[in-house]
Amino acid sequence: VNEVLRAAPLDIPVLCGGWAIRLWRQAGWLPLRKNLFLAVQDTDATLSHYLDSNEWKHQRRSTEQWSNWASSGATSKAVTDHPDLNGPLTYEVEVYQGCVRYKQGCKFCIEPKKGVPIWRTPEDIINEVKLAHDNGVKHVRLGGMTDVFTYMAEGVVEMEYPIPNPEPIANLLHGLREDERLDILAVDNGNPSIIAENIEPSTEITKTLCDTLSDGSVLSFGLESADPAVHTENWLNCSAEQLKSAVRLINKYGRGKGQRGLPKLLPGLNFIAGLNGETTESYNYNKELLTSLRDDGLQLRRINIRQVEGEGFQKIEEKAFRQFKEWVRDEIDAPLLQEMFPTGQVLKRVYWESHDNRIRLPSNLSDEHRSPAIHGKAGVTFGRQIGAYPILIGASYHIPLESESDIVVTSHGKRSITGVELGLDINTVSQTQLQAIPGIGEKTAWRIVSNRAKIMRKNRDALAFDSLEDAFESEVPELAFTIFNA
């Protein structure tokens, strides 16, 4: 931020907000300038007030402003001109601002500074999403929430653990689902301590989430550290025991598979390294917790491990951090992935995004990469199912980009899986596609393609093979039956 301030002409007003102003009093700002304003609560409302009055003043948005801004966004060119509008574009809706722990929230987080949470009504959100649908949006994520379970909760001002209110979130989710244009629906974060201290209403909300969200949905749980000392020093939002209670509840109702082959709803777990009070022993607390969850048969959809950002925190012990991260990927992530997506598992509606690189490159946007003629050629295709935190899926041959297909899982990485499309035709499949199927080696694949070519030279009007047995001339690999007979 200092670089931006130095570059900006001194006669130009500058407004900073959000993460940029975290701990600004302690960290200091250089250079000092008279027309610099730091919006602690609501940057948009503060800017709107300045444009109307030429006065810098802390503001929070009114209900009318929020509704108008949201409606303008839903009909803007950011939506209508987006290149992914007909594909994976997911429209994020701001449901509320602030955090119920505004009196003493996590030290590293900006949300508590916004004050008492303010919510939009279910009706207002539904109206915004309808406008987005009118402009081509299919997929929606309800975001801007520090905790979906405290949406319009009771006792926010008076209680340490406000009581979740199942009715408003049910009205919102079921109201959104009444519009048949909505395809994928996902949500944001959950607070494990709220769930653990209010099991009965949290159970009702969890059931509603499982009934209305798309399968593959993830509730992000911000534990940050299982070390009690770190928890106390940084005012973290939940203990390890509260987290386990919340994970157990979500698993009870959410781990069943949905229409696309994904668990309906699972927790995601966040760790942050470098918080004050952390020692190398802190990583052992984290390991003990994860081992306990694994031994209890509880599933986590994903585990994010990050380093804290900004001033005011201690130096990270790089070796211990790296060892912990590697341990999680080897001992927790990999086994969980194999359990959730076993070999032979069918996953539906994979959207193919890039060729030969996990990142979609500008070169992938050419017609060549979208052409059906590329199907089955040598290379690698990466794709994901549309939604929150989708698993990365690789296919060991080229598939036309911006297309969808169903796949069967064939192998696993630490944080990704490999698959082969369902519905391939033994009479047209390429050698590269055949070799991607477990149990079919290079020699077998070549023999099948070679025999097929010889038969077709004799009679181009007939099918080369009437059955898989004819093609293989031996025992057919198990997964081949699934792939070719789909």
Beta bridge partners of 90: 139
pLDDT above 80 for 108:
no
pLDDT, position 251: 99
Final residue before a domain boundary, out of 294, 313, 340: 340
Q: Are residues 242 and 143 in the same domain?
A: yes
pLDDT above 80 for 110:
no
Q: Are residues 316 and 457 in the same domain?
A: no
pLDDT digits (tens, 9 = 90+) for 284-335: 999 999 999 999 999 999 999 999 876 668 888 999 999 999 999 999 999 9
3-class secondary structure, 255: coil
Final residue before a domain boundary, out of 273, 306, 340: 340
Q: What are phi and psi of 62, to 5 degrees?
A: -85, 165
Instruction: Give domain status of residue 420, yes or no.
Output: yes
Final residue before a domain boundary, out of 306, 325, 340: 340
Instruction: Give domain status of residue 74, yes or no.
Output: yes
**Residue whose tokens read 């070519």:** 453
Q: Which residues of 27-40 are buried (b: 16+ CB within 10 A; e: fewer)?
A: eeeeeeeeebbbbb
Read off the pTM: 0.91
Q: Are residues 252 and 297 in the same domain?
A: yes
- Tell which wins on pLDDT, 292 or 34: 292
Q: Are residues 113 and 48 in the same domain?
A: no
Instruction: Give domain status of residue 221, yes or no.
Output: yes
pLDDT, position 114: 77
Q: Are residues 8 and 43 in the same domain?
A: yes
Residue 75 amino acid letter: T
The secondary structure element, H or E, covering residue 354 is strand 346-355
CATH code of 212's domain: 3.80.30.20
Beta bridge partners of 186: 141
Q: Which residues contact 114 (CB under 8 A, 6 or more apart)?
A: 40, 41, 42, 60, 97, 98, 99, 102
Q: Are residues 184 and 322 in the same domain?
A: yes
Q: Are residues 312 and 327 in the same domain?
A: yes
Instruction: Give domain status of residue 42, yes or no.
Output: yes
Instruction: Give domain status of residue 360, yes or no.
Output: yes
Q: Are residues 335 and 350 in the same domain?
A: no
pLDDT, position 21: 65
Question: How many structural domains is the chain composed of?
Answer: 3
Q: Rounded to the nearest 10 degrees, how much is the dihedral formed by the CA atoms of 402, 85, 208, 112?
A: 120
Instruction: Give domain status of residue 314, yes or no.
Output: yes
pLDDT, position 190: 95
Q: Are residues 280 and 221 in the same domain?
A: yes
Report the share of the chain in percent with pLDDT over 90. 76
Q: Are residues 358 and 336 in the same domain?
A: no
In whole angstroms, give the CA distance from residue 182 to residue 84: 16
Q: Are residues 20 and 111 in the same domain?
A: no
Sign for the CA dihedral angle at 225, 226, 229, 234 comes to positive
Report the share of the chain in percent with pLDDT over 70. 96
pLDDT digits (tens, 9 = 90+) for 199-226: 999 999 999 999 999 999 999 999 999 9
Average pLDDT over every residue of 173-184: 98
Q: CA Rg, the chain, in Å?
A: 26
Q: Are residues 371 and 462 in the same domain?
A: yes
In whole angstroms, give the CA distance from residue 160 to residue 199: 15
Residue 458 domain boundaries: 346-484
Instruction: Give domain status of residue 58, yes or no.
Output: no
Instruction: Give domain status of residue 75, yes or no.
Output: yes
* pLDDT band at residue 160 under the 50/70/90 scheme: confident
* Least confident segment among 32-41, 257-266, 427-436: 32-41
Inter-residue contact 395 to 407 (CB < 8 Å): yes
Inter-residue contact 153 to 193 (CB < 8 Å): no
pLDDT digits (tens, 9 = 90+) for 442-453: 999 999 999 999
Pairing type for strands 381-385 and 392-395 reads antiparallel
Apex 233 CA angle, 228 and 234, nearest 5: 100
* Least confident segment among 48-52, 315-319, 390-394: 315-319
In whole angstroms, give the CA distance from residue 4 to residue 14: 9
